[in-house]
Amino acid sequence: MLIEYVPLILMVIVGFVLAVVFLFAAEWLGARRTTREKQTTYESGMIPVGNARQRFSVKFYMVAVSFIVFDIEVVFLYPWATQLTTLGLTAFIAVIIFIVILFAGYFYELVKGGFNWD
């Protein structure tokens, strides 16, 4: 019975060994040229402007929450859509209720101005 797990165990061991070897190889063989730009807070080439503790607009968070909500909607609807014919009427009604609740949240955000990105 345990013989069935040997390939899996070998794959995990090989993956772990390769990860460690690549980490040490990158450390030993990597370039070590430090410049003033690399030592700054951001390496994107832009000079940092302002304070890191500044406040963000609430609309930024509304957009983030909207993205998460509609992303989760797709995660739940895709498996349901692939098995629609086998699940039956009860699953169809449950998904309709789910979509109605999501659209209620969408219209609430629309009324509150969450999509005005001025």
Q: Measure the CA–CA gap between 21 and 92, rounded to whole angstroms.
A: 51
In a domain, 6, yes or no: no
Torsion sign across C-alpha atoms 85, 89, 90, 94: positive
Q: What is the block-wise mean pLDDT of the chain (118 residues), using blocks of 10 residues?
A: 90 97 92 75 65 75 80 86 88 91 85 75
The pLDDT of residue 115 is 75
Task: Confirm whether 117 is domain-assigned.
Answer: no
Domain range for residue 106? 58-112
Domain assignment present for 23:
no
How many structural domains comprise the chain?
A: 1
pTM recorded for the entire structure: 0.48
